[in-house]
Structure formats: C-alpha cells, structure tokens
Amino acid sequence: MTFSRILVPLDGSRLAGAVLPAACSVAQKLDARLVLVHVLERDAPTTVHGEPHLRGAREAAAYLEEHAVPIRWRGLAVEVHVHERPVSDVAAALDAHTHEFAADLIAMCAHERSNLRAQLIGSIAERILRGGSVPILLRTVRRADGASFHLRKVLVPIDFGHDIETALAAARTLALPYGAKLVLLTAPEPPPPRPAGCCRGRPP
C-alpha cells in the first residue's frame, strides 16, 4: 500500500490545525502531496472549538493559504481547495473530495480529553469510516499548539469481520519509515445473552 496524496480537512480552528505537523511529517517520509480542504457548512455555528467560525469562501481560502505557505517553505507539495457551496453534510462532501483528489489517506485531529470511542462516534471521521472511504490518521492532542510529531507505535485494532490485511498494510506503510512498532489489539465479544426461560441441563 502507498500513500501519495493526503487529504487534510481544516475547519478554521487551532485544534484542526494541530494535525498539520503529523500530516507534514508523514508527507515528508512518504514523499506524498498534501491537499488542505475546507468545506463551507450551511447554517454553521458561530464558533468551532471555541473559536470564530470561517464565514465565507474568501476567508477560508486565505486561511488555507496561510497554512500552505510554511509547508511549501519546507519543500513539500501542497494544494488548497475550498468547497464553496455550503452543505449540510460535511462528511459526505469530504468523502467526495477524497475521491475527487485521488487521496489515499485522510489526516484529522481529535481532542484527547475524551476516549477514542467518544471522539469517533457521531463525528465526521466516524461517518467517513462507515462510508468505506480511505484510511484516517486521527491524531489526538492535549493542546492545539502544533506540537511536533514522531511515530513510535501504531495501534491496530483487529476486527475479524473486516479486511485485516488492508488495515495491516496501511499500518506497515506508516510505521516502516519511522521504525515504529505495530501493536495488534483484539477484544472478543461477549457471548449473546441466554433467551428468557432457558435452563441448563443437569450435568451428567
């Protein structure tokens, strides 16, 4: 598996931007191109993660370009795109752009204060995953301060009902250039509850 184009959705907040050190590091290691994307949201809230929400296409384009300039200074290939028609379903728009730009990895950020399930359930990342799109590099951070990134371990949850080989191939692609360790994790599901009124037979 190769990652040659990395889609980076940015919503205008510092929290979303905290994924950029990770995305840039992976792009540099794998010689990949970054695609910074902002989707204008219909009836958007006034704030996102406690910061003012981007108000239009021009402001969004300037915001993306502000982040793209230092990335180009590092010698990395980067392009920017604003989805100018406001949409209600941001996840669907991002999924469409993933295919439009032939991206094979999405890099996003989440806050560390909640557990992984809370970060994903109902979120844009979870909806993209459920849609069967490309792998997502989800970085969790304590503070939205653009901390440096170095990959040491890759946790690979194993669900035997899904494509294990694809998950392992993606994990190996990310881990190899960093010399990172793969940690495989699986948790067996509990047996289904016994039907009401069901009794055990006597032991022989």
> What's residue 70's pLDDT?
95
DSSP string, 111-126: ETTS-HHHHHTTSHHH
State CA 107 to chain mean position distance: 4
| Residues of the chain above pLDDT 70, percent | 74
User: Do 12 and 56 form a contact (C-beta atoms < 8 A)?
Assistant: no
200 versus 128: the higher-pLDDT residue is 128
| Contact residues for 193 (Cβ-Cβ < 8 A; gap 6+) | none
pTM of the predicted model as reported, rounded to 2 decimal places: 0.80
Q: What is the pLDDT of residues 167-185, one digit of tens each?
A: 889 999 999 999 999 999 8
The DSSP letter of residue 55 is -
Structural domains present in the chain:
5-147 (3.40.50.620), 150-189 (no CATH)
The amino acid occupying position 106 is: I
> What's residue 120's pLDDT?
43
Q: What is the pLDDT of residues 23-74, one digit of tens each?
A: 999 999 999 999 999 988 886 666 666 666 777 889 999 999 999 999 999 9
Tokens of 102: 């032939």
Is residue 121 predicted with pLDDT exceeding 50?
no
pLDDT-based confidence at residue 1 (cuts at 50, 70, 90) = confident
Is residue 203 predicted with pLDDT exceeding 60?
no
R_g (Cα) of the chain, nearest Å: 20
> What's residue 95's pLDDT?
86
User: Do 154 and 183 form a contact (C-beta atoms < 8 A)?
Assistant: yes
State CA 174 to chain mean position distance: 14
| β-strands 51-52, 47-48 pairing | antiparallel
Give the mean model confidence (pLDDT) for residues 86-102. 86
User: Do 23 and 16 form a contact (C-beta atoms < 8 A)?
Assistant: no
Rounded Cα distance between 44 and 28, Å, is: 34
